[in-house]
Amino acid sequence: MALVPYDDRDGWIWFDGKLVPWRDAKLHVLTHAIHYASAVFEGERAYGGKVFKLREHSQRLIDSARILGFDIPYTVEQIDAATMETVAANGAPDCYVRPIAWRGSEMMGVSAQQSKIHLAIATWAWGNYFADKEKGIRLTWAKYARPAPNTAPTASKAAGLYMICTISKHEAEAQGYADALMLDWRGQIAEATGANVFMAIDGVLHTPKPDCFLDGITRRSVIALAKNRQIQVVERAIWPDELARAQEVFLTGTAAEVTPVAEIGEHKFTPGAITAALMDDFGKATRGEIDVKL
């Protein structure tokens, strides 16, 4: 299938305060963010025209920017409103939403204290993040580890942190896998390149503590949904050899939603009842049919 480039589509992008025609949402090549990764972003999904956990995402965007040392010049209420305006303008009630904030072109060099801060929001129709999602995806191990919190701003959804994700995902895809599972700097299981991970061991869900990677909004929703079903959830350090004891494994994320995992390296899993129940519950939660409190 021919690729439709993301800079050559119809629609509207909210750019620094107003909707502009899609193809006009352009940057100069001397933009600090593309040289020094001074950008933070969000990934959201709208279901039936309503963005799931919009306020949590807009707040995380603001918090991510503060961790990188800049303030987005809009309030959380203004970002929520701009997001809803963009979803409505593009006319696709089920869509992916991508807000991004970045340092502009006023200064070049590592220091960029006087750069203007920009904000843009785009939306587009996006189906399953993983092909063959339902039957379970195959993962390999990533070459890179998630960095320690004193090595990088790991609590921020910062563009720079995705450098090792793209390298790892490309290498996995080149070997025929859907994605790569990343360890952290201690050698414990961390997450996939764009999603958190859970495993079911004898009816109990285990997931790594998000102390050096993103505490996903989907992750928190799935924990609440599991507890709602009286499924015990343990957040703890998990070592890779513990995968040998897991019966089910799944990923969670805005793009991935709840995606069963069939294979990680030498370990094989069969998507089972817990995964199926949480996929179903998450689908209902995104459409407001189950209330999830984070």
Ligand X SMILES: Cc1ncc(COP(=O)(O)O)c(C=O)c1O
Identify which of residues 107 and 240 has a Cβ nearer to ligand X in the complex. Answer: 240
Q: Which of 18, 157, 227, 268 is catalytic?
A: 157
115 or 196: CB nearest ligand X: 196
* Backbone φ, ψ for residue 189 (5° rounding): -65, 135
Q: Which C-beta is closer to ligand X: that of 91 or that of 288?
A: 288
What is the rounded (10 degree) CA torsion for 48, 55, 256, 17?
80
Active site residue 157: yes
DSSP 147: P
**Structure tokens given for 263:** 């294979």
**CA-closest candidate to residue 246, choices 229, 266, 230, 227:** 266
Residues 194-223 vs ligand X: string with x where CB under 6 A? xxx----------------xx-xxxx----
Which positions from 30 to 49 touch ligand X by CB under 6 A, shown as an x/- string?
-------------x------
Least CB distance from residue 42 to ligand X, whole Å? 8
Query: Which of 196, 275 has the CB closer to ligand X?
Result: 196
Q: How far is the CB of 292 from ligand X (least distance, A)?
A: 12
- The pair of structure tokens assigned to 75 is 């309030």
How many beta carbons lie within 10 A of that of residue 12, not counting itself? 21
With b for 16 or more beta-carbon neighbours within 10 A and e for fewer, the 254-286 pattern comes to bbbbbbbbbbbeebebebeebbeebbebbeebb
Query: Mask: binding to ligand X, 157-196, rule CB under 6 A, as x and -?
Result: ----------------------------------x--xxx
Q: How many residues bind ligand X (CB under 6 A)?
A: 15
Least distance to ligand X, CB of residue 105, Å: 27
Is the CB of residue 69 less than 8 Å from the CB of residue 140?
no
Distance of closest approach, residue 185 Cβ to ligand X, in angstroms? 15
Rounded Cα distance between 265 and 143, Å, is 13
Q: Mark 236-275 with x for binding to ligand X (rule: CB under 6 A) and - for no binding.
A: ----------------xxxx--------------------
DSSP strand pairing (233-236 vs 204-208): parallel
Q: Measured from the CB atom, is 25 or 97 closer to ligand X?
A: 97
Residue 114 Cβ vs ligand X, minimum distance, rounded to whole Å: 30
> DSSP 3-state assignment of 244?
helix
Tell me the H-state helices in the chain.
32-36, 54-67, 76-90, 163-174, 217-228, 273-286
Catalytic residues: 157
Binding site for ligand X (CB under 6 A): 43, 191, 194-196, 213-214, 216-219, 252-255
